[in-house]
């Protein structure tokens, strides 16, 4: 049996969320991670921003407060009550990879955990 590969959203060397790559799903080119896998959940706060997707429903957004106090606005989104047919995104969170320095990668053993 081979070891599972971890996938993560990284902000510089900080891991915001990670999971086994088989637990992440891809919808419309975005990775959705199990929400319970967020690191330092207390740094994520709902922003009050909402958008609507025709087939997934209303999305809510998270701001993220870095350790230095800097707030990254609307860095991630989730669907609190996805529409019928979009249940796969329930209890999952996606990030704006490529914006605000976010990238997808493997969490390094040496990377600091924020």
- 104-107, long-range: CB < 8 A, 24+ apart: 104/7, 104/8, 104/9, 104/10, 104/31, 105/7, 105/8, 105/10, 106/5, 106/6, 106/7, 106/8, 107/6, 107/8, 107/10, 107/15, 107/18
Q: Is residue 14 part of a domain?
A: yes
Q: What pLDDT sits at residue 3?
A: 62
In a domain, 113, yes or no: no
Assess if residue 29 is contained within a domain: yes
**Residue 35 within a domain:** yes
Q: What domain range is 95 assigned to?
A: 6-105
Q: Mean pLDDT in runs of 10 for the chain (114 residues)?
A: 79 91 94 96 97 97 95 97 97 92 78 47
Element (H, E) at 36: none
pLDDT of residue 114: 45
Task: Report whether 98 contacts 29 (CB < 8 A).
Answer: no
Quick check: is 111 in a domain? no
pLDDT at 83: 98
Inside any domain, residue 101: yes
- The two three-digit tokens of residue 50, written as one number: 């909402």
Question: What's the pLDDT at 98?
Answer: 83
Q: How far apart are CA 36 and CA 19, in angstroms?
A: 10
Residue 88 lies in a domain: yes
CATH value at residue 48? 2.170.150.40
Whether the model pTM is above 0.85: yes
For residue 5, what are the CA distances in angstroms to 30, 64, 113?
18, 26, 18
């Amino acid at each position: 049996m081979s070891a599972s590969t971890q996938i993560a959203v990284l902000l510089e060397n900080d891991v915001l969320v990670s999971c086994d790559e088989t637990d992440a799903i891809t919808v419309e080119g975005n990775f959705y991670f199990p929400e319970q896998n967020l690191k330092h959940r207390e740094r994520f706060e709902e922003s009050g921003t909402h958008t609507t997707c025709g087939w997934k429903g209303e999305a809510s957004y998270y701001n993220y407060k870095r350790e230095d106090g800097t707030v990254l606005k609307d860095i991630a989104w989730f669907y609190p009550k996805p529409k019928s047919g979009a249940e796969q995104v329930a209890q999952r969170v996606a990030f704006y990879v490529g914006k605000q320095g976010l990238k997808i990668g493997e969490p390094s053993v040496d990377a600091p955990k924020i």
